[in-house]
Amino acid sequence: MEERFLNKYVENKCSDEEFKSALDLLLAKDKWPVRDVQMKQHWNTTTNEGEHPDLTGTLYKIHYSINKNEKVKKLEVVDYLLRIAAILILPLTLALVYYASDRASSEAIMQTITSPLASRSSFDLPDGSKVWLNSGSTIHFPTQFSSKMRKVELEGQAYFDVKKDNTPFEVVTNSFKVNVHGTSFDVDAYNGEPASVTLVNGKVAIENLQGMETFLDPGEQVTVDAQTGKLNKQEVDINVLTAWKDNLLIFKDEPFEDAVLRLERWYGIDIDIADEAINYIRLTGTFQFEGISEILQLLEITDDIKYSYDEKTRKLILKLR
């Protein structure tokens, strides 16, 4: 009976009653032995479908975080469920999708990798270059690069450590492209949000849709204006901006209206800000294995914010006291 609820939860087919039963299976202390058996069975089944990263260490940290608190608030229950769900869903959603063009049989077969919300992934490109893909992001690339160009298409955020080669490497987004030969850099290009490129080492050129181009040196970032395509260059703290690839969520005097987008993707939740004044609160802190409830509890203490969870809409509601 429990396995049916667990499978339906993973497939997002739960009714309200089945969702409560799955929640009970995952979090009720007396059912943890059953839960662990079902998780291991599901893990063994899904990992046989292809090669996936070893998440044993992450699973251990999740179990440790769950066990260290015997009394869990209603919001924390949802928070822990999200952590467990990420382990169950990642092998299912980190999928490789292949397709061939009908126009010519000689065209390269393309490959797509998607990292879902509340998850991050890393992998190697066909040339040996390494990629870290942030949550809610998708990358497209050929299974074999041509001798003339190594080209990838990105929607979302990715960190690239490009293998040096005489063949040019190009990252294409909806509003600009990045040209490199061998370097490490971060590309942030979520649809509908401010876009940027941050250079860690080497040298890159950024070209917008209007043909304007600028070069970056290490420690510099260029932002791309969504309306005009204007390229604005500045020096930044690369350790803060690229920490996400090491599973660190860092805020440095950041307005909450900017931080909330990253929080939503990081934890796979929706946040509704009921009082506009909250948008102007500055958030500073470093988080790794903390849950969203722990971050909000910090805001309660430091900024007089109260929060609640709407079970019908499954949204966090933030208000001033």
Residue-wise burial string across 47-75, b where 16 or more C-beta atoms lie within 10 A, e elsewhere: eeeeebeebeebbeebbebbeeeeeeeeb
pLDDT in tens, 197-215: 999 999 999 999 999 999 9
Q: Predicted confidence band at 233 (pLDDT cuts at 50, 70, 90)?
A: very high
Of 93, 124, 143, the residue at which a domain comes to its end is 93
Indicate the number of domains in the chain.
3
Of 226, 241, 256, the residue at which a domain comes to its end is 241
Q: Is the model's pTM score more than 0.85?
A: no
d(CA 176, CA 172): 6
178 and 203, same structural domain? yes
**Inter-residue long-range contacts of 293-300, CB under 8 Å, 24+ positions, other chains counted:** 293/73, 293/75, 293/76, 293/79, 295/263, 296/75
Q: Does the structure show a pLDDT above 60 at 123?
A: yes
Q: Does the structure show a pLDDT above 60 at 106?
A: no
Q: Predicted confidence band at 103 (pLDDT cuts at 50, 70, 90)?
A: very low
Give the pLDDT of residue 64: 45
Q: Residue 5 in contact with residue 14, Cβ under 8 Å? A: yes
124 and 49, same structural domain? no
103 and 86, same structural domain? no
CATH number reported for the structural domain that contains residue 258 in this entry: 3.55.50.30
Give the pLDDT of residue 207: 95
Q: Does the structure show a pLDDT above 70 at 69?
A: no
Which residues, 6+ apart, have CB-to-CB distance to 4 below 8 Å? none
213 and 79, same structural domain? no
- Break the chain down into helix, strand, coil percent, rounded to 5: 35, 35, 35
100 and 233, same structural domain? yes
* DSSP reduced 3-state for 254: strand
254 and 186, same structural domain? no
Domain of residue 126, residue span: 96-241
pLDDT in tens, 127-161: 999 999 999 999 999 999 999 999 999 999 999 99
User: Which range, 16-30, 45-59, 83-97, is most confident?
Assistant: 16-30
Give the pLDDT of residue 288: 85
191 and 138, same structural domain? yes
pLDDT in tens, 152-190: 999 999 999 999 999 999 999 999 999 997 899 999 999
Give the pLDDT of residue 56: 47
81-110 mean pLDDT: 51
- Taking each helix axis from N to C terminus, what angle separates 56-67 and 74-93, rounded to the nearest 10 degrees? 170
53-70 mean pLDDT: 48
88 and 112, same structural domain? no
